A and B are shown apart, each in its own frame.
Chain A
């Protein structure tokens, strides 16, 4: 009806008030989004500053040159951790969702202990373990991988459990009535349907392990400095430099690309009940 024309004045006033509220609400969201991104953008900006004045890619050249090993090590540990997490978590998730195991809650809680242990505590306790009992792998690549796996496989386990629980048993039953044996059912039907849950776990593992520095600080050997740890070490010793800014930018940019790819392919629904969602 023609309410607006009948009481034009007050209604226009009211609607402009509503506009103001709505504008402020969006401004608040954008303010926070700026706060999320600003540290990254400023870091990128600083990474382009040349110590001798002006702007250059000197920092990046330096980062890719002298930090190359660290970057490669970060990628290697991340990928190996992801593979091991998959191999450990999928059978474990099946056991927890589909098998009658006594004391399931306790077991799940025990598996998640590492998830709730503060990084420094985990780092110190692992360094004690490696010094006291497992000196053969102390400071090695595998010591890092072991720490990452134990710290992150629950992040893979949880989304897979969620996905497996959401997966109706009817698909597996349908496959069996159509003559598919246990392995075929698993490989052709169930794992593809769990795919997004597994991918969510991969994303979480990637984001965490690729950027981990604290546990690494306690257990990394001399020759095994990951990229994130390198950034920390230079910061602790030499303060802020364009080359570390460049390395930090590279790390965040890589992580962000992985996140974007995930959202593009799978959307955000499979991150529910996890760390990111």
Chain B
């Protein structure tokens, strides 16, 4: 193992040799990083700068010789498209809460009780293949003559109108199934670090099961829960296909869909980009929060 460096007073001497070596090393490092940095700048940072730039121009005048700079797009969002912003946040919040409420017990059982964990992990990758196939499949599952139709008919829900009768619920469900694995993995990581003997200790000290949960388990797994919630939230902010296939006009107001329609169908690049900037700001705020709370998971 590395020696602990001991501090002893010594007359100062020039350390030019060390410094130049460090510089050379740093330069090599930057060289190794260069391809990644160049790619990220050209295809991620610069496009986002363009996005901001375009959002400050009227319609598609950015591509003309003299673009017309204006704040109108943001004014328009404030005046007319605020419900779109709220729908985006509302759906993301509800879907992430759904994940939390159903994902926490799932993670707990998985960590403490289940032997066939790898099977669960493997099956859990299906939603990760993307919301497109998932939503597509959910349409079939809850559609007419779907595999669950007899079940719904049995409990008195009309399976033929199910898909269209509950657009918001279906949308939230679809979003939640997609992000469920993210929640579970974060809570699993947090719970794995909670020593089971702490639960046993709480029980021997007379705690009831729900007290064990509220006083020991939840406080100790809280950072993972928060990280999981924020990651789910981040994904759900960008939702596109789920409301398109499962929701109605109200859910389809989400920003991703709206900006696609504005920019790519109506060629109002200015407004579409402004929506993109708003969505980006929301997503980055969430990312920033989740990195703050789950310090060390990815960064350092």
Q: Which residues of A contact B (CB under 8 A)?
A: 22, 25-26, 28-29, 32-33, 35-43, 45-46, 87-89, 91-92, 94-96, 98-102, 105, 107-114, 116-129, 131-133, 146-147, 149-150, 153, 157-158, 207, 211-214, 217-218, 228, 231-232, 235-236, 240, 244-245, 248, 251-252, 255-256, 259-260, 263, 267-268, 272-273, 275-277
Chain B residues with Cβ under 8 A from A232's Cβ?
132, 241
The smallest beta-carbon distance between A262 and chain B, in angstroms, is 10
B47–A128 CB distance below 8 A? yes
A119–B238 CB distance below 8 A? yes
The closest CB in chain B to the CB of A96 belongs to: B33
Q: Using A25-B109, A117-B283, A124-B263 as known contacts, say yes or no to A88 and B273 having CB atoms under 8 A apart.
A: no
Q: Which of A150, A260, A268, A276 contacts B44 (CB 8 A)?
A: A150
Q: Which residues of B contact A (CB under 8 A)?
A: 22, 25-26, 28-33, 35-37, 39-40, 42-48, 50-51, 54, 62-63, 102, 105-106, 109-110, 113-114, 118-130, 132-134, 136-141, 146-147, 177, 180-181, 185, 189, 234, 237-238, 240-241, 244-245, 255-257, 259-260, 263-264, 269, 272-273, 276, 279-280, 283-284, 287, 297-300
Contact sample, A vs B, 30 pairs, CB 8 Å cutoff: A28-B106, A33-B120, A33-B123, A36-B127, A37-B126, A39-B177, A92-B33, A99-B29, A102-B26, A107-B33, A109-B299, A111-B40, A116-B284, A118-B237, A118-B256, A122-B44, A125-B273, A128-B47, A132-B50, A133-B46, A153-B36, A214-B241, A228-B130, A231-B132, A231-B133, A248-B132, A268-B118, A272-B189, A276-B121, A276-B125
B47–A125 CB distance below 8 A? yes
The closest CB in chain B to the CB of A244 belongs to: B136
B35–A87 CB distance below 8 A? yes
The closest CB in chain A to the CB of B130 belongs to: A211
A126–B123 CB distance below 8 A? no
B113–A111 CB distance below 8 A? no
Chain B residues with Cβ under 8 A from A275's Cβ?
128
B26–A100 CB distance below 8 A? yes
Q: Which of B39, B47, B63, B264 contacts A129 (CB 8 A)?
A: B47
The smallest beta-carbon distance between B48 and chain A, in angstroms, is 5
Chain A residues with Cβ under 8 A from B234's Cβ?
116
Per the bound structure, the CA–CA distance linking A214 and B198 in Å amounts to 45
Q: Which of A36, A124, A252, A276 contacts B259 (CB 8 A)?
A: A124
Per the bound structure, the CA–CA distance linking A101 and B119 in Å amounts to 42
Q: Using A113-B44, A235-B136 as known contacts, say yes or no to A207 and B113 having CB atoms under 8 A apart.
A: no
Per the bound structure, the CA–CA distance linking A272 and B297 in Å amounts to 10
Per the bound structure, the CA–CA distance linking A232 and B298 in Å amounts to 32
Q: Which of A32, A107, A118 neighbours the largest number of chain B CB atoms within 10 Å of its CB? A: A118
Chain A residues with Cβ under 8 A from B22's Cβ?
100
Chain B residues with Cβ under 8 A from A124's Cβ?
51, 259-260, 263-264, 272-273, 276
A100–B29 CB distance below 8 A? yes
Q: Which of B37, B147, B177, B299 contacts A105 (CB 8 A)?
A: B299
The smallest beta-carbon distance between B173 and chain A, in angstroms, is 9
Per the bound structure, the CA–CA distance linking A259 and B128 in Å amounts to 11
The closest CB in chain B to the CB of A249 belongs to: B133
Chain B residues with Cβ under 8 A from A150's Cβ?
39-40, 43-44
Per the bound structure, the CA–CA distance linking A239 and B239 in Å amounts to 20
Q: Which of B125, B180, B276 neighbours the largest number of chain A CB atoms within 10 Å of its CB? A: B125
The smallest beta-carbon distance between B163 and chain A, in angstroms, is 12
A117–B118 CB distance below 8 A? no
The smallest beta-carbon distance between B148 and chain A, in angstroms, is 8
B35–A268 CB distance below 8 A? no
Q: Using A32-B180, A43-B136 as known contacts, say yes or no to A89 and B284 having CB atoms under 8 A apart.
A: no
The smallest beta-carbon distance between B47 and chain A, in angstroms, is 4
Q: Which of B31, B51, B62, B264 contacts A121 (CB 8 A)?
A: B51
**Top 9 A-B pairs, shortest CB-CB distance:** A39-B137, A99-B29, A118-B238, A125-B47, A120-B256, A150-B43, A95-B32, A91-B32, A92-B36
